[in-house]
Structures are given as structure tokens and as C-alpha cells.
Structure 1
Amino acid sequence: MFDKISQVLGLKPDTASKEVSELHLATAALMVSVSKSDENYTDEEREVLIKNLQNHFSLSKDSAVHIADLALEDENDAPSLYQFTRAVSKELDNEERQEIIRLLWQVAFADGHLDNFELNIIAKIGGLLGVSAQDRIRIKHEVEQITPCSQ
């Protein structure tokens, strides 16, 4: 019934938002935070963010784009990173949280430049997720070998 009313009014039913898990949205928001940390949210970073969502969570491109858009809004409105890191921490074990750090490094390296703001926010997020500095650096080097960039 609601779908028919929405069609008459020219509105699309928002079925995609019903399917968005807290984990997907929190992970996307953390990737957005990394990409915006240098105040330069690039197309390359957005592409990697969407591909990461698709690959890591087995999502369609449309779902990943939708989640990325929602995450951008949520990240803009969030007072801190804690709400996102809490959502990730409650769902994932340490090894899985390390994979989230890997996604963050991939976003940071996406534009071919890694700056101190990106380094600092990944360190902060890693700390909130309980991922050790040693593991964060190891993962950074692994990602850097695949996607080198200038610092």
C-alpha cells in the first residue's frame, strides 16, 4: 500500500535503507572519516570506499553507494568517532577489526597521497577499535606494497 502511494506521489520506496546494517554504516562512516580527514574527499577515495563496501560485505554497487551516501551524512552529523567504533567493536573480533583497519588504509592510499591527518585518524580509530599500533603499522605496510603513494 505504501509503495503504491509513494509511486503516485513520485517517491521511490526506500527499501535499501531498511537493509542497511549498523556494521555496514559504521564501517562506511569510518572510511568517510579517513577520506575527509585532510579536508579533501576525492573521487578516488569515494570509489575505493564503495568498492571496499561491495567486496568486504558482498553488497551490490547500488547498496554500497547508498550506504556511502548515508555514511557521509552520518559522519557529518556525528560528534565523535565513538559511535562508529562502538558499533564495529560489538560485532567483530580482533582479526575482523584489523580487516576494517585494512579498509581504512586502502581509502587513505586511494588518492596517491598519505598525509598526517590520515595517519592520525587511523591511529585514533585503531585505538578505539583495540587494534594495536604494531598491527596497524603491519597492515599499513601490507596495503602500501599494493598501493604505493607519496607522503
Structure 2
Amino acid sequence: MFERVLSLLRSPADFTEMPEADARHALGALLVRVAKADGAYLFQEIEEIDHLLADLYELNAIEAARMRAECERLEAAMPDTSELAHILSCDVTNGECNNLVRALWKVADADGQRHDSETQVVAIATKTFGMSPEDAAALRA
């Protein structure tokens, strides 16, 4: 009986499955990682992630928020940023890569402040994509 009471108190998120580590979720997890890199996961960053996911994958607002929540779980479960970027890099072309890096920069800049920790996450991802630091910086502008 005690276990039943405890199960009712647990969050439904405790029972949700881990999303597949595919390119779509890897990108979302990288976006979340950039947003969290400075130690503050702000509303502006969450809103930007939802907007980007909706645009990239033609999702409505609810679907984008649900996907972001899945990506948050994946991000928490995969501590290696280069591993996330590698999953993503296997499924994207060089042309798509530029758009993905722009998306990472949009999240990094969403709160209006530049943080070295966010720049480092983008740098790890772009290195894994095979992009030079100069090219990645040019995409931020």
C-alpha cells in the first residue's frame, strides 16, 4: 500500500521513456545544452528552443514543447557534448550544418548576454561538425 501511495506522488516524467537519440533529438538536446551552459535555463532560451524546433520540424507549439521536454531528458542522460554533436553530424549535410550552428547561436544569444560557457558548447559541436572556429563565429553575426 505504501508503494501505491508513493507511486501516486511521483511525477509522470518519472515514467516516460527516453527519446531515441536520433538527429532531431540530438539537435534539441544540443540546444538545451547551450541554454543550460551558463547555469541559468531562462524562459527566453526555452521559448527560442521551442520556436526553432517548431520551425525546423514543422511542429505546432504543443508538439515543439513536448519535443523540447524529450530533448531535455536526452541532454541530461548524455553528458558528452561531442557525442550529441556526432549523432547529429551523421545525418546532416554541410549546407544544413550552417543552419544548425545558427540555431545554436540563437539560443546562446536568446537571453541577451554572451557567456563563455555557451560559446564553448557551440565550439565543441562545430568542431565535431568539422567546421572551423572562424566559420562558426561568422555564422553568429
- The TM-score, its normalising length taken from structure 2, stands at 0.81
Partner of 1:52: 52
The 2-side partners of 1:96 and 1:103 are apart by: 11
For the pair 1:135 / 2:135, whether they are aligned, the reply is: yes
Report which structure shows greater RCO (CA 8 Å, sep ≥6). 2
The 1-side partners of 2:34 and 2:21 are apart by: 20
For the pair 1:74 / 2:70, whether they are aligned, the reply is: no
Change (3 A) 1:34 1:97: same
Identity value in percent: 25
The 2-side partners of 1:82 and 1:124 are apart by: 6
3-state DSSP class of the match of 2:38? coil
How many residues are matched?
124
Query: Structure 2: 5+ residue runs without aligned partners?
Result: 1-16
Partner of 2:99: 99
**Counterpart amino acid of 1:119?**
T
Partner of 2:39: 39
Partner of 1:88: 88
Moved over 6 A (4+): none
CA deviations over 1:21-75 (Å, ceiling 9, x no partner): 8222111000001000001010000000000001122122222111100111111
- The TM-score, its normalising length taken from structure 1, stands at 0.76
Are 1:94 and 1:130, in contact at CA under 8 Å, matched by a contact in 2? Answer: no
Offset of 1:122 from its aligned partner? 0.8
**Counterpart amino acid of 2:56?**
H
Change (3 A) 1:128 1:21: closer
